[in-house]
Amino acid sequence: MKNMTLKKLAALALSAVFALSAMTACSGSSSSASPAQDDLKEVTVGLIQLMEHPSLDEIRTAIEARLEEKAAENGLSIHINYQNGQGDASTINTICQQFVGDGVDAIVAIATPAAQGAATAAAGTDIPIIFSAVTDPVAAGLVENLDAPEGNITGTSDAIPVDKIFALAEELTPDVKSFGLLYNPGEDNSVSVIADVKAYLDGKGISYTEGSVSGTGDVQIAAQSLLSQCDAIFSPIDNTVASAMGVLADEAIKAKKPVYVAADSMVHDGGLATVGVNYTNLGTQTADMLLKVLTGTPVSEVPVEVLRDNAVMVNAETAEAIGVDVSKYAE
* Interacting residue ranges for ligand TRP, rule: CB under 6 A: 55-56, 111-112, 133-135, 158, 189, 237-239, 242, 263, 265-266, 279
Taking the least distance from each CB to ligand TRP, the nearer of 47 and 263 is 263
Nearer to ligand TRP, 260 or 279 (CB): 279
Listed residue (238, 248, 244, 240) closest to 271, CA to CA: 248
- DSSP bridge pairs for 233: 180, 259
- For residue 50, the minimal CB distance to ligand TRP (Å) is 7
CB of 67 to ligand TRP, least distance (A): 19
Nearer to ligand TRP, 55 or 74 (CB): 55
Give the single-character DSSP code of 131.
E
CA–CA separation, 276 and 258 (whole Å): 17
* Strand partners of residue 281: none
Taking the least distance from each CB to ligand TRP, the nearer of 266 and 291 is: 266
Q: How many residues does the chain have?
A: 331
Burial classification of residue 217, based on how many CB atoms lie within 10 Å of its CB (0-12 exposed, 13-18 middle, 19 or more buried): exposed
* Spatial CA neighbour of 34 closest among 73, 65, 70: 73
Nearer to ligand TRP, 266 or 275 (CB): 266
Which of residues 76 and 133 has its CB atom nearest to ligand TRP in the complex? 133
Nearer to ligand TRP, 34 or 281 (CB): 281
CA dist., res. 260 & res. 272, Å (int):
6
Q: How far is the CB of 239 from ligand TRP (least distance, A)?
A: 5
CB of 233 to ligand TRP, least distance (A): 15
* Least Cβ distance, residue 243 to ligand TRP (angstroms): 8
Minimum distance between the CB of residue 286 and ligand TRP, rounded to whole angstroms? 11
Query: Is residue 100 within 8 Å of 123, Cβ to Cβ?
Result: no
Task: Name the E strands within the chain.
Answer: 41-49, 76-84, 106-110, 129-132, 153-157, 178-183, 207-212, 232-234, 259-260, 273-276, 305-306, 311-314
The residue type found at 154 is T
DSSP string of 253-308? Answer: HHHT--EE-SSHHHHHTT--EEEE--HHHHHHHHHHHHHHHHTT--GGGSPPEEP-
Least distance in Å: CB of 223 to ligand TRP?
A: 16
In angstroms, what is the minimal distance from the CB of 265 to ligand TRP?
A: 5
Strand order in the sheet with 76-84: 76-84, 41-49, 106-110, 129-132, 153-157, 305-306
**Nearer of residues 105 and 238 to ligand TRP, judged by Cβ:** 238
